[in-house]
């Protein structure tokens, strides 16, 4: 049985009912039978694992603001102009078609122009857009539309694409796709694969579940004929063997499919002068962390930070102590902003958080994953407190003179 509506075994029907009961407190109108079965298929109808996955997703969606990201957040211009790919048509069964000439992407240029978190956020924005498109087409066409067919064109893909920060970013986005948009991919066709493709696939494959990995098909030189078995010619650009083109005759349909290209240096983010921002310096030792403590006494105060590292990336997160006066492990503190690795060696990392309640807030630099290199960090932190009118003002001078700095291993 496929595990889809209308094609369920008795055990699958039972699992569906058990899951519906187990997660009834988090169900929304979007959690119809098709949706619940999608989550179940992702965990091979293991109800416990599926429940855990769905509950983790609820927390994640709140953290990233996924439900309103389309209205609340704009994709950075450099990502819109230079991150490859685009939606184009549907396959013969109605699945949306995503064509990605990934071999043309300049990941290093993009990563020098926008923060890693915003690149990831742009992919969440894209996936939420696709899911709204699913709902629209399902209603308009009278059939269930809830998957995409991906065509990865690796023409011009080379060793420059094996750049580690870029590869790590791509794997992180694959993991996000698997964890929060499961069973969305119907199939993936890889075309014009270079000789180094097996190396690339071995990097990505650990982040794919077994079911997704089986949907990846590497096509040979006859790929145009294969694609047309699954996709009608008028739903496929001429460049990939179909008959569709832009109004101006462009066979690549570049108005809908971004071909990337080299990112101009004018987009690159520049670090402000460390002297003008009164930067402080701290060494995060290999296999270790540094915690910067701020005692926030006024609810509604804000923490604003900027930092950069020399040569290598770094983990960063914000926490709130549950026990004052004692160094705590990350797992023992309240997680405010989850720790994630940031490319602070490429672009300055900055952020702001409003402290909704008093307490000791911890800015945590995490280098526990690196046993070979210590990391030098230049940082600046401001604490802002609301005044009587509800506005904010600088409470302490820029810098870290009032922060307790604790260096050690907490994992």
DSSP per-residue codes, 59-77: HHHHHHTGGGHHHH----H
Q: Tell me the pLDDT band of 204, cut-offs 50, 70 and 90.
A: confident
CATH number of 280-408: 2.60.120.680
> Does 93 have pLDDT greater than 60?
yes
Its pTM surpasses 0.85:
no
- If you average pLDDT over residues 227-237, what whole number do you get? 97
- If you average pLDDT over residues 257-278, what whole number do you get? 77
Would you state the pLDDT for residue 387? Answer: 62
CATH of 10-64, one of 1.10.8, 3.10.450, 1.10.10, 1.10.760: 1.10.8
Q: Which phi and psi (to 5°) does residue 191 adopt?
A: -125, 160
Please name the helix (run of DSSP H) or strand (run of DSSP E) that holds residue 362, with its range, or none: strand 359-366
What are the residue ranges spanned by the domains of the chain?
A: 10-64, 72-267, 280-408
- If you average pLDDT over residues 236-265, what whole number do you get? 96
- If you average pLDDT over residues 246-265, what whole number do you get? 95
Other CB atoms within 10 A of residue 168 CB: 15
Summarised one tens digit per residue, pLDDT across range 344-364 is 888 888 888 889 899 999 999
Would you state the pLDDT for residue 115? Answer: 87
Lowest pLDDT segment from 136-145, 361-370, 392-401: 392-401
Summarised one tens digit per residue, pLDDT across range 18-36 is 999 999 999 999 999 999 9
Nearest to 79 by CA among 256, 260, 255, 254: 260
Would you state the pLDDT for residue 4? Answer: 92
Choose between 105 and 200: higher pLDDT: 105
With the C-alpha atoms ordered 51, 54, 58, 60, is the resulting torsion angle positive or negative?
A: positive
Choose between 344 and 223: higher pLDDT: 223
Would you state the pLDDT for residue 273? Answer: 47
Other CB atoms within 10 A of residue 32 CB: 13
Other CB atoms within 10 A of residue 110 CB: 24
Q: What b-and-e string marks burial along 240-269, b requiring 16 or more CB atoms within 10 Å of the CB?
A: bbbebeeeeeeebbeebbbbbeebeeebee
> Does 105 have pLDDT greater than 80?
yes
- Give CA torsion, residues 84, 87, 91, 94, to 10 deg: 150
Summarised one tens digit per residue, pLDDT across range 164-180 is 778 888 988 999 999 99
Would you state the pLDDT for residue 406? Answer: 52
Interior angle at CA 126, CA 123 and CA 131, nearest 5: 125
d(CA 280, CA 278): 7
- If you average pLDDT over residues 201-208, what whole number do you get? 86
Class of domain 72-267: alpha beta
């Amino acid at each position: 049985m496929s595990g889809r509506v209308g094609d369920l075994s008795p055990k699958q029907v039972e699992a569906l009912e058990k899951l519906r009961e187990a997660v009834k407190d988090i169900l929304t109108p979007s959690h119809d039978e098709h949706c619940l079965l999608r989550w179940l298929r992702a965990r091979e109808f293991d109800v416990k694992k599926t429940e855990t996955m769905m509950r983790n997703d609820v927390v994640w969606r709140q953290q990233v603001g996924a439900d309103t990201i389309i209205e609340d957040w704009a994709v950075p211009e450099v990502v819109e102009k230079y991150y490859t790919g685009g939606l184009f048509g549907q396959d013969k069964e109605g699945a949306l078609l995503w064509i990605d000439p990934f071999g043309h992407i300049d990941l290093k240029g993009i990563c020098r122009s926008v923060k890693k978190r915003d690149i990831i956020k742009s992919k969440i924005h894209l996936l939420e857009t696709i899911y709204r498109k699913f709902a629209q087409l399902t209603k308009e066409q009278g059939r269930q539309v809830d998957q995409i067919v991906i065509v990865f064109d690796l023409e011009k893909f080379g060793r420059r694409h094996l750049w580690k920060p870029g590869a790590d970013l791509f794997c992180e986005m694959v993991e996000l796709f698997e964890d929060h948009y499961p069973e969305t991919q119907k199939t993936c066709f890889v075309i014009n694969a270079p000789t180094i493709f097996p190396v690339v696939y071995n990097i990505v494959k650990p982040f794919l579940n077994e079911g997704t990995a089986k949907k990846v098909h590497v096509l040979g030189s006859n790929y145009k004929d294969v694609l047309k078995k699954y996709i009608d010619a008028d739903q496929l650009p001429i460049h990939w063997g179909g008959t569709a083109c832009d109004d101006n005759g462009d066979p690549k349909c570049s108005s809908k499919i971004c071909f990337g290209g080299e990112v101009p240096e004018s987009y690159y983010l520049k670090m402000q002068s460390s002297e003008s921002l009164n930067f402080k310096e701290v060494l995060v030792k290999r296999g270790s962390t540094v915690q910067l403590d701020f005692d926030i006494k006024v609810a509604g105060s804000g923490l604003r930070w900027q930092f950069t590292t020399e040569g290598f990336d770094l983990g960063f997160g914000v926490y709130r102590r549950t026990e004052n006066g004692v160094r705590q492990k990350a797992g023992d503190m309240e997680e405010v902003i989850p720790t994630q690795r940031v490319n602070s060696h490429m672009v300055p990392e900055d952020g702001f958080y409003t402290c909704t309640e008093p307490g000791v807030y911890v800015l945590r630099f995490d280098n526990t994953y690196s046993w070979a290199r210590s990391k030098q960090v230049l940082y600046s932190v401001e604490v802002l407190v609301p005044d009587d009118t509800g506005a904010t003002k600088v409470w302490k001078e820029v810098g870290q003179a009032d922060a307790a700095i604790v260096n050690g291993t907490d994992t």
